[in-house]
Amino acid sequence: MRIASSPARWSHVASSPSRGTRAFGLGRGLDALIPGRDDDRGVLEIALHRLAANPDQPRATFDETLLGELAASIAVHGVLQPVIVRELADGGYQLIAGERRVRAARLVGLETVPAIVHETDGDATSLELALIENLQREDLNAIETALAYRELIDRFGMTHEALARQVGKSRVAVSNALRLLELAPETRAAIMEGRISEGHGRALAAITIPELQRAVLAVVLERQLSVRQTEELVRRKRDESPARRAGALSHDLQDLEAQLRGVLATRVGIVRTRRGGRLVIDFYSDEELDRLYSIITRGANGELAGTASSITTDHEDFPTT
């Protein structure tokens, strides 16, 4: 690593996180690259216009509120922790780690940032450092973390067990994180935008049919369901799914189910129990419930009334507490 002499205006570097330095098998980890308060090695002040973004940046979204708070801190205290860069052939620099600091510095109008120039052995090392730096931070969302895990696995051929050791997580935690990448695009976006939590995502991952998952997500968002309520709703929907019930329903009941879906223009499920069964009718708004009520009451003296007499109707798809 090459580090230029320290400019007089730069005072100190924040110490590494209290949780300690991890030893990374793929490299020494980011903490080994950042000098502590007692380290007399300096940094290079790099003009922001000479600093290129890292195309392998794992972070896909930047919270504007948090970025504004960081910018306010930098306006008062300056950039206390240097970014990590590598020198390019054209004399410029490419950012390896610290994009939030760079963005915040630009917001407050700084022209330079303190940086450590790291002599990497190629793009692989640059990517590794960027991924590890982001994984060590607390503000990555669950999808960004999972994407970083996937990059480390794909680029470096790591197993789940090896990756878990590198990032200080359990194998189960790594596997659960990676499962989030199998979610429907709309569900992944909801996690990244903060509309649902990682816990909601894990619950929804149990639904492997994209259309059904999107329908359940719509209910979760509209009703602002908790994780526990989402888990219960997912359990009910999985029990009601055609794949689970195909062998339990007679052909007559399957035909009836299809007819009801056509008449009501919404998802309808017939669930057999030991003492009869349930007729589950999905609705996603009060207006839709009123529409369904009108259809059912209008047909009460017609075909619908006698056909489903032995099946109870349950509109309560999820618990209210």
Distance of alpha carbon 103 from the chain centroid: 22
45 is catalytic: no
Among candidate residues 87, 99, 211, 240, the one labeled active-site is 99
Residues 6+ apart with CB under 8 A from 180: 142, 143, 146, 188, 191, 198, 201, 202, 205
Q: Supply 257's token pair.
A: 């189910």
Q: Supply 251's token pair.
A: 């052909």
By annotation, the residues acting in catalysis are 99
